[in-house]
């Protein structure tokens, strides 16, 4: 079945959103590059690549449906981060917002009886992963919360101790990525 105009609009919006997520995480990556925190750097590089994968995944679906889509990517406002605290909030909030958008698409598709789109959201794996867009989104939201809590766990009033803690989390991320 052809996609409805509503679903087409939502998917076009979603692909722009995923592309913007990629740009956001590239900004985060740049922040860590300047600080020489390689674990965080690589972690957000992975996130950025993942977001680009979501963007491509949506394009593939629109192609498969022969949908008359347009790529209209949102411009990204410059983002200033003051500290790692800001970043983990930003990361978690970005993921929560993305989950909500995907759930809204699923809800709309269900309401329309568009089982193909529902099934694509829940079952069709992204690239060579074994996770569908919504499954992967749930994992990413969990991962963002875990990182946010980890960072917040060790932060206090002492700048020097905070710096040490961030380097410790950085090392942990690096081990996790290379392990
Ligand atoms: Fe995404
Ligand atoms: Fe994500």
Give the dihedral sign, CA 15/132/134/106. positive
Specify the number of domains making up the chain. Answer: 1
Q: Tell me which residue of 97, 85, 113, 111 sits closest to 28, measured CA to CA.
A: 85
What are the residues whose beta carbon lies below 5 Å from ligand 1 (ion)?
18, 51, 54
Domain hosting residue 139, numbered range: 5-178
Cα 34 to ligand 2 centroid, rounded to whole Å: 23
Residue 77 pLDDT:
84
Mark out the alpha helices in the chain (DSSP H runs): 5-35, 38-64, 84-112, 115-123, 133-153, 159-178
Residue 32 pLDDT:
96
Q: Tell me which residue of 21, 44, 27, 32 sits closest to 93, measured CA to CA.
A: 21
CA distance 154 to 172: 13
> How far are the Cα atoms of 2, 49, 131 from residue 21, in angstroms, in the given order?
28, 10, 19
Residue 169 pLDDT:
97
CA distance 16 to 58: 10
CA distance 76 to 168: 31
Cα 49 to ligand 2 centroid, rounded to whole Å: 10
Taking the model in full, what pTM does it have? 0.95
Cα 134 to ligand 1 centroid, rounded to whole Å: 9
Spell out, as residue ranges, where the chain has pLDDT lower than 70: none
Residue 104 pLDDT:
98
Residue 168 pLDDT:
97
Residue 25 pLDDT:
97
Residue 171 pLDDT:
97
Place of tokens 């200033």: 80
Residue 75 pLDDT:
82
Cα 19 to ligand 1 centroid, rounded to whole Å: 8
Place of tokens 């081990």: 175
Give the orientation angle of helix 115-123 with respect to helix 84-112, to 10 degrees.
150
102 backbone dihedrals φ, ψ, rounded to 5° = -65, -40
Cα 101 to ligand 2 centroid, rounded to whole Å: 12
What CATH number does the domain containing 167 carry?
Answer: 1.20.1260.10
Residue 144 pLDDT:
98
Residue 119 pLDDT:
98
Cα 153 to ligand 2 centroid, rounded to whole Å: 23
């Amino acid at each position: 079945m052809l996609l409805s105009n509503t679903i087409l609009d939502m998917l076009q919006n979603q692909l722009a959103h995923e592309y913007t997520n990629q740009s956001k995480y590239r900004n985060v990556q740049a922040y860590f590059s300047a600080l020489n925190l390689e674990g965080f750097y690589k972690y957000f590089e992975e996130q950025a690549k993942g977001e680009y994968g979501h963007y491509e995944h949506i394009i593939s679906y629109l192609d498969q449906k022969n949908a008359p889509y347009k790529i209209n990517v949102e411009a990204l406002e410059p983002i200033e981060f003051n500290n790692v605290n800001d970043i983990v909030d930003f990361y978690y909030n970005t993921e929560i917002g993305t989950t909500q958008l995907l759930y809204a698409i699923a809800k709309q598709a269900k309401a329309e009886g568009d089982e193909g789109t529902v099934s694509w959201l829940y079952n069709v794996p992204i690239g060579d992963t074994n996770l569908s867009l919504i499954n992967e989104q749930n994992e990413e939201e969990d991962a963002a919360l875990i990182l946010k809590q980890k960072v917040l766990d060790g932060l206090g009033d002492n700048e020097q101790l905070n710096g040490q803690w961030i380097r410790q989390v950085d090392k942990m991320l690096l081990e996790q990525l290379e392990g």
